[in-house]
Structure 1
Amino acid sequence: MAIIVTLPDEYGYVLLATVSTFFVNVFHSLNTGAQRKASGVKYPAAYASQEVAEKDPKAFAFNCAQRAHANFTENLTPAIGAMLIAGLKYPVLAGALGGLWSLSRVFYTIGYTKGGPQGRTKFAVVSSLSLLTLKLTAAYTAVQIAFAGKY
């Protein structure tokens, strides 16, 4: 049985929000690279040691930038998946939430890199709430599609 999917006219917003994540990832890579260079942490070390980071603010900032990037990549697949699924029925909402998620990740990273774990807090809330709403909207969309015309 074939399923024909017709994308809503506004699905371009979803695609724009999805593409924005590519550039947020570039931002993370550049930020982490700059912090690595400033700290002097050599490859292949993923982080500065705890002892070094406690004594060297540049090493600490590198660890924060690296952790922010890791957290972004941990959430990237669910975010993109949720955007693409939720956008099938709610493209404007999915695009807006996806864009908000991407933007909040930039400010999350800046806050984390400059202010340590406490510097990320307010944008962590924005990021988490936008992603949770995207996931719930995606789940609702999936249920709607799965059970369309069955009841």
Structure 2
Amino acid sequence: MATIQLPAEYGYTLAAAVSTFFVGSWLGIRVTKFRKAARIPYPYEYASYEQVTSASPAQSKAMDTFNRAQRGHQNFLENQGSAVGAMLIAGLRYPVASAVLGGIWSLGRVVYAWGYTSGGEKGRYRGIFGQLAQYVLYGFAVKSVWDVVSGA
């Protein structure tokens, strides 16, 4: 059985993983703010197409912004588990790289959400660097697993 010893710099990896908790909380707060402005009651997840298209221009814009904030938060939640998992695994062999990539991922999620709510459909591409960091993290995680399994 392999013994895993945490590298001295693993705390940086843990800090990057913890940063995702704060990003998720911030995104949730934004959704609540935009929900109130759009007057979308719970438990409704989104303003429907019919609601958005039949509302006044100002209300329609508020609903669309809420939908974008909600989608940005959900996209974060869809990716957070695998991103954090990859950070923690990659950090076993590459703690500083994992921490840096994890920080880039978190920053990318913030830029994505901000761009999507303020810049419309194309605004979400502003945070693409975070998605790229996630894929690089996957590569480091695979390499870390390979190193552990092969005894390297």
| TM-score bracket, shorter-length normalisation | over 0.9
* Structure 1: gaps of 5 or more residues: none
Distance in structure 1 (CA, Å) of the matches to 2:68 and 2:23:
16
Alignment of 1:33-112 (within 5 A): 33-54=32-53, 55=55, 56-112=60-116
Residue 135 of structure 1 is matched in structure 2 by 138
> RMSD across aligned C-alpha pairs, in angstroms?
1.1
* Structure 2: gaps of 5 or more residues: none
Distance in structure 1 (CA, Å) of the matches to 2:120 and 2:15:
30
SS at match of 1:88: coil
Q: TM-score scaled to structure 2, two decimals?
A: 0.93
Count of residues paired in the alignment: 147
Counterpart residue identity of residue 111, structure 2: F
Q: TM-score scaled to structure 1, two decimals?
A: 0.93
Contact 2:111 2:126 in 1 (8 A): no
Identity rate of aligned residues, in percent? Answer: 44
Contact 1:53 1:63 in 2 (8 A): no
Distance in structure 2 (CA, Å) of the matches to 1:136 and 1:26:
28
CA deviation vs aligned residue, 1:119-149 (integer Å, no higher than 9, x gap) = 11121x2011000000111011101111116
Q: Does 1:15 align with 2:14?
A: yes
SS at match of 1:5: coil
77-86 or 46-55, larger mean C-alpha shift: 46-55
Contact 1:36 1:62 in 2 (8 A): yes
